[in-house]
Every structure is written in C-alpha cells, then in structure tokens.
Amino acid sequence: MAQNNSVRHFASQSRTVLSGSEKRPVAAAVGVKSAPPAERVTVSVIVRRKAPLAAAHVSGKQRITRAQFDAEHAADPAAVQLVKRFAKEFGLTVEHGTPARGRRTIKVTGSVANMQRAFGVSLEHKTLGDQTYRVREGSITLPAELQGYVVAVLGLDDRPQARPHFRVLGEANAVAPLSAGGGFASRRAAPNGSFTPVEVGQLYGFPSGGNATGQTIGIIELGGGFRKADLTAYFRSIGQKAPNVIAVPVGQGKNSPSKAGSDDEEVMLDIEVAAAVAPGARIVVYFAPNTDQGFLDAVAHAIHDKKYKPSVISISWGEAEIAWTAQTMTAFDAAFQSAAALGVTITAASGDDGSSDAVNDGKDHVDFPASSPHVLACGGTNLRGQGSAISSETAWDSTGGGVSNFFPLPSWQADSNVPKSTSPTGGRGVPDVAGDADPATGYSVRVDGKNFVIGGTSAVAPLWAGLIAVANKQNGRSAGFIQPAIYAAASKAFRDITQGSNGSFPARKGWDACTGLGSPIAARVISAVKPSGAAPAAKKKTSRKPKG
C-alpha cells in the first residue's frame, strides 16, 4: 500500500510550466514522426544551490575556495532527494555519482515514454537537412512540489546547439610560401597580411620571453579533434616547444580528428593560438556533444575540474540568444557565476556574422554565451602591422556585437553608453574586448597536415585566454572575473578602435558594440587584472529553509 501511495505522489499533483523552458517550433523539418517509446534518453535535471552565491562572490570582489564552494553552494540536498523520488516514480534511473561534488546536475535515464510522462512533453524525430534529431517543442511541465527546486531540464532535445566561430581564408601555402625548413614564413609582408599567433602577440605587446608555465588553459570543444603530430610540427615551425595538450572526454564527447574542412579547424585554431601566446601553459581540451546538455556539461566540468584546475577557460562556440531557451542561458550563467567565485576567467567568441548574428529577421542579435555578463566577450578587428608596430586596426565587418535582449546592463558598463536593448529585460553590451579576427589578417595554423590561414572571433577567445594565463603567471595569482577591473582601466589598457562597423553598430571613441573597449595593450592589461583584496573568504555557516 505504501508503494502505491508513492507511485501516485507526484502523478497526482497539478503541473506548472518550468520557467524558461519554452522552445520554439522547428521550421522546415521533414520526415516528422513520433520518437519510439522504448528509445533510451538521458537528461540533465539541474537543481538549485544549497545557498545562493553572495554578490561579492559573483562580482569577483571576494573569492571562495573549492572546498567552501562544495560545502555551501552545491546542490540543495532537499532538491536532490525530491528529484530522486520523482525519477523513481516515473521509471527513470538516476546515474550513480550525480550530482558530482560541487555540481548541481542530476543525470536521469529512461525511455521516451517515461520521459514524456515525467516532463509533460512530446518527443518527435525530425529531419533537418541530412540529419535526423530528437526534437522537443513547447514547454516542460513539472509537478507542483518540484517548482523552485528544479531550475532546468536539458537533453530531451538533441539538436546541435552551437556553431564554431571561425573563418578560413585558405591554405597558407596557396597564398604565401613556406620557409625552407617547412615552417611558416614571416607573414608581416605577405600579400594577405596574415600572422602567426606569436606575431599577433608581439603587435599587442605580449611580454617578450614571457611564459605561462604552471598555468592551465581550458578549451571547450563540441566536435572535431587534434593530432599530436600536427601540434609537434606546428610548434617546431614557429620555434616553440609543443605544449602539453590533454583531451578530456565529457559524456559521449571525445577527441575525434578527421580531416580539414571539419571542426578540427576550430580545435586546432584554439589550441595553437592559446599555446603559442602563452608558452609553457598546459592546454586541457574538454570534448562534449554539441547539444545544450553537452555544452553545459563541458563548461561545468572545466570550472569544477579538481584535477587540472584551469585558471582560464576559452569558448569559441555559440549561437544567437534567440536560439537558446531562457532556462539554458540561466543555467549557463549560473555556472559562469561559479567560475567568478572560484577565480576562473571565461573568454568567449562574440560571433562572426555581424550585428544580425546570422538571424534573418531584420533585427539585431548577440551571440550566447558571449552575452553572459560573467563571460569576457571577445570581438574582432582587422589588424595591420609589422614587428611590434600596429599600422592600422579597424573593426572587422563580420564581428558579432550588439545588445543582449536577455541579460540586463551590468554595473561596470553603466558609463559605457551602451545602446538601449529592444527588450525590457536586456541591456548587456557585447563585446567587452577585441583582437585580430578578420581572416584577411588571420592566423597561420596547421590542421590535419595542411597549413591554413584562419580568422574569426574564435581566434580572439583563445588569444585573450593566453594573455590572461600570462598575466596569472606574472601576477602570481589568477585574474578571475576581470570586467570591473578592465572597464575601470579602459583608457589606459586598450587600443581604442574608432573605425569600421559590424552592420548596425559603428566603432567609436570608447566602448562600442563591435570592438568593445578595444584591443589589448598587453602590459597594461596584465597590470589592470592583478588581483587586489580578492582573497578567499572565511568560511561562514549558512542556513536556508527549503521551499515547499
């Protein structure tokens, strides 16, 4: 009898919509049919924190240790128990070890039929292009007792969530000769104006002979892979020792190199740029499936990675805010807030499709996760110069940038004259900073045995990650959440870009919605981001009564 009462416990409750779970209908799908009832699905149920992060933690003013974070700000035990009971009642199995220590994600697995009953959804198979995906549309509903405890449910839909933000100019040996030793010849005088990452660093004043030994740069990848033989050959060609690159599989993700013309180009660009400008740094690449669930798993794994402990994480994948559910962006932003509290910097590409961000609705859009106020959004420029002298730098006409329709204007942008958002809830200006991104002045890199010149804001995120790693080494402590510091130092630490536009937004004096504060004057940025008074907080006991 007790078991029967348990079975009816959640099923008998009224249901309400999980806030922010609404998913737009799929256009231009063919071959639509119901997902097989017995098909197995694993979803992520993300629950609330045991206690909220304090404003001082989220703003980076005061850090906490990982032990303190795990004790005070991981999953609410009451929420975990409720979800486990809920899963059991609907025939779903909770994955052993979830939520992991310090994390808030509970993995549950079950049949399509049981998932549909549990979350009040209809799952279908739809063919988009030449691929068939499991699709969820509309809203997720939950029993009343779970409201307030569950903040997101991801993974019911397995469509690709993000795009890599790189642009290929062409094979390097088709536009400029290789050196006699088989490496890249100097690109300073090349007709296409491309550079090695080291040369870009020189133009921006990265410390001569500087290194990032002892630092770890995390890189998020949602496809593709790398070959160590390519890395060895590439770094030999630019006169550097090959970095220690470690692949970390997350979920079903893995290091899976294939051939040029694939996502390998993103992976190699990220690794080669970050490692070249931060010699000595360990590079840890987190590979995850390209879904909302996989992307967040990779980000959270990197932030809470107690083995490798990256002090800066680079993200070169994203998509227009309109393509994300509100619950997903909120869950990501919560993870980025955790990074700020732990002293981890996140850099993200702002996109390569101008002010529209490839949305064909006649409106302006910004790219997420770059639009999160807890991420350093990286825009792009066209860079011209030789040695350490920049001759010109203008906004790249394809750089992403604009104003968020989801995240409000942060306090550190209050005096930046950010244009008004078209949404009453928005206002965060994108990007924060910029760097060389135009493929016409792009980066000489090696991918799958071939040499290419590649640009895009995908190159700017690892460029800035490398600069932060060098700063962390030089300053003796991780920079953490840097926006308040760099906006305060904007007039001294940045090269202001005042020419060009990305469509709707022109470059102008001060911050603008195509190049942010500008490109780095590296030595001054390193000085500006040196932490002061951001020691880990003393452990405090907190209490919080669970909501019913």
Catalytic residue among 59, 350, 458, 519: 458
Inter-CA distances, 95 with 100, 105, 186, 293, Å:
10, 10, 53, 15
The verdict on whether 458 is a catalytic residue reads yes
Q: Which of 534, 277, 495, 263 is nearest to 395 (CA)?
A: 495
Catalytic residue among 157, 265, 270, 352: 270
3 state DSSP class of 240: coil
The sign of the torsion formed by the CA atoms of 495, 497, 498, 504 equals negative
Q: Which of 267, 232, 271, 239 is nearest to 253 (CA)?
A: 267
Q: Which long-range contacts (CB under 8 A, 24 or more apart) does 112-117 make?
A: 112/35, 112/36, 112/37, 112/38, 112/39, 112/40, 112/41, 113/37, 113/38, 114/90, 115/41, 115/43, 115/156, 117/90
The verdict on whether 270 is a catalytic residue reads yes
Residues 6 or more apart in contact with residue 129 via CB below 8 angstroms: none
- In the chain, the N- to C-terminal Cα span, in Å, equals 25
Catalytic residue among 124, 266, 432, 448: 266
Strands (E), 280-350: 282-287, 312-315, 317-320, 345-349
The verdict on whether 311 is a catalytic residue reads no
Beta bridge partners of 494: 520
> Phi/psi class of residue 417: alpha, beta or left (left: φ > 0; alpha: ψ in -120 to 50)?
left
- Report whether 339 contacts 303 (CB < 8 A): yes
Backbone angles phi, psi at 315, to 5 degrees: -125, 120
Cα 38 to the center of its chain, rounded Å? 34
Catalytic residues: 266, 270, 458
